[in-house]
Amino acid sequence: MSDSQAAEATLTDEQRSAVDRLLRSVGSVVTELGERFAAAGHELAIVGGPVRDALLGRPVHDIDLTTDAVPQRVLELVDGWADAVWTIGIEFGTVGLRKNGQQVEITTYRSESYQVKSRKPEVSYGDSLYGDLVRRDFTVNAMAVRLPGGEFVDPFGGLADLADRRLRTPGRAEDSFNDDPLRIMRAMRFAAQLGFSLDEGVRTAATAMSDRLRIVSAERIRDELVKLMLSPNPRVGVALMTDLGVADHVLPEIPKLKLTVDEHHRHKDVYEHSLTVLDQAIDLERARGMEPDLVLRLAALLHDIGKPKTRSFEPGGKVTFHHHEVVGASMSRNRLSALRFPKDVVNDVSKLVSLHLRFHGYGKGEWTDSAVRRYARDAGPLLSRLHILTRADCTTRNRRKAAALARAYDDIERRIERLEQEEELSKIRPDLDGNEIQEVLGIGPGPLVGQAWRFLLELRLENGPLGKEAATEALRRWAAERE
């Protein structure tokens, strides 16, 4: 099919209105660009996500443009017109610019493909809009609006797939995924983000070719996983990844959770439990008016990944997972580090995983105030997330048990709030600082000061505020016992 065959598609009045709204929303800058390119004999079109989202009634944020002009020619066309130009993506055919406060990216018609063992795609430029669209990931992203006239182009039935909420590739799915294996992850992400189903060809190819993800950089896979986890329904994406074998190459710990169901089914399905905890954490997140929280969602999904390694069968058929939170914290750290997540995300998720069982020692409120202080202090700035994760971790169908756990956690939250008001738990420090410790003990800076500080902190957590006089006496007794 040539560009002449990829002519304007027939739109309903509602769809035409959506395209018109898109053109109005992109503003005069984009229209002026279209006129500028047309006057120079070049094509320009809005393409991909902005067109899809406009037709879905979703907010349009980034404006992606495509053209037959090569990057150097694009630079010539915007020279002296744009307020700022950047070329950070020029090796992939992309030029960015800003005009009157609006940012756009212009990419030359192109195709990308990976060699068998390459981690970087090879980019080649094309000369037709159809040639550019046929190499895009899915039909719903292979629609365009020509500028400056506003003609709508849909050579592969993207409109019909939008209506059916279906992800399908413009050509053979195998060819598409071979060109860029990351598209397999994008399919999972779009399913979670947009609520679309996968065409059978996409499902089959994703399963058969998931091992091709090994040649894609960890950073690109991580970015897709982040978008999936922050989507409205990450469970859909995670379940697809697991069912199609994709998770084996991205989060292999998740499908292994299915192996923790023993042949007698004497304990819950840990895989389904983990997905339910993720759902419930998101429900609590929304109920509290929070934005999608990556750390919380990752912790909810990964909180039990230590169970397969710690499973043990005891007399009478009882199944235990002793210290699975410790093992799971280490596994979470390793997996997220391998995916190149930022250190703060790695640290926060692994800490939440390590703490997620702590509350279950609370019983009916038997904890002393010192134990409550330790719980809050150990969680530190993650306390609000730990509250949500702990509540979400209750998936029992026994209503009486679920209600009892909820009441117990209500109680601990009230106690933390009371102690917070009384003592500012997050700012708890020993009653003596480092200089005062040195003065009391008659020593200079050194390891002993740190040991004394930690002793006084433990004392403070155990007993609450002591005052400087009592703390000084306790410190002297401690030092005397060490001699």
Provide CB contacts within 8 A for 142, sequence distance 6+.
Answer: 48, 133, 134, 136, 154, 155, 156, 158, 170
Residues 338-365 have a mean pLDDT of: 91
Least confident of 54-58, 140-144, 247-251: 54-58
- Separation in Å, CA 406 to CA 362, 369, 392: 12, 20, 10
Residues 311-324 have a mean pLDDT of: 81
Residue 87 has pLDDT above 90, yes or no: yes
Residue 247 has pLDDT above 80, yes or no: yes
pLDDT at 108: 95
Contact between residue 113 and residue 179 where contact means Cβ atoms under 8 Å apart = yes
> Which runs of consecutive H residues, i.e. helices, occur in 393-446?
399-423, 434-441
Rounded to 5 degrees, φ, ψ at 113 are -150, 150
Provide CB contacts within 8 A for 356, sequence distance 6+.
Answer: 299, 303, 325, 386, 389, 390, 393
53 vs 362, which has greater pLDDT?
Answer: 53
pLDDT at 425: 61
What percent of the chain clears pLDDT 90, i.e. is strictly above it?
58
pLDDT at 294: 98
Least confident of 261-275, 401-415, 418-432: 261-275
- Separation in Å, CA 465 to CA 303, 425, 430, 457, 460: 34, 11, 8, 10, 6
- The model's pLDDT over 189-245, given as tens digits with 9 standing for 90+, comes to 999 999 999 999 999 999 999 999 999 999 999 999 999 999 999 999 999 999 999
Question: Residue 110 is encoded by which pair of tokens?
Answer: 């192109």
Residue 285 has pLDDT above 60, yes or no: yes
Where are the domains positioned within the chain?
1-164, 251-427, 434-482
CATH 2.20.70.10 is the classification of domain 1-164: no
Residues 311-330 have a mean pLDDT of: 85
Contact between residue 395 and residue 268 where contact means Cβ atoms under 8 Å apart = yes
Residue 266 has pLDDT above 70, yes or no: no
Residue 327 has pLDDT above 90, yes or no: yes
- Under the banding of pLDDT at 50, 70 and 90, the label for residue 6 is very low
Give the CATH fold of the 251-427 domain: Hypothetical protein af1432 (1.10.3210)
pLDDT at 59: 87
Residue 147 has pLDDT above 50, yes or no: yes
- Under the banding of pLDDT at 50, 70 and 90, the label for residue 372 is confident
Residues 277-303 have a mean pLDDT of: 96
458 vs 225, which has greater pLDDT?
Answer: 225
What percent of the chain clears pLDDT 70, i.e. is strictly above it?
91
Mean pLDDT of the chain: 88
| CA atoms within a 13 Å half-sphere pointing along the CA-CB vector of 117 | 0
Token pair 């998770």 is found at 247
Contact between residue 390 and residue 356 where contact means Cβ atoms under 8 Å apart = yes
Token pair 């210290």 is found at 323
Query: What is this structure's pTM?
Result: 0.81
129 vs 8, which has greater pLDDT?
Answer: 129
Residues 452-476 have a mean pLDDT of: 87
- Under the banding of pLDDT at 50, 70 and 90, the label for residue 427 is low
Residue 268 has pLDDT above 70, yes or no: no
- The model's pLDDT over 21-53, given as tens digits with 9 standing for 90+, comes to 888 877 788 999 999 999 999 999 999 999 999
> Which runs of consecutive H residues, i.e. helices, occur in 57-194?
71-78, 129-134, 158-164, 173-179, 182-194
Residue 117 has pLDDT above 70, yes or no: no
Residue 265 has pLDDT above 80, yes or no: no
- The model's pLDDT over 151-188, given as tens digits with 9 standing for 90+, comes to 899 999 999 999 999 999 999 999 999 989 999 999 99
Cis status, amide bond into 465, omega within 30 of 0 = no
pLDDT at 67: 96
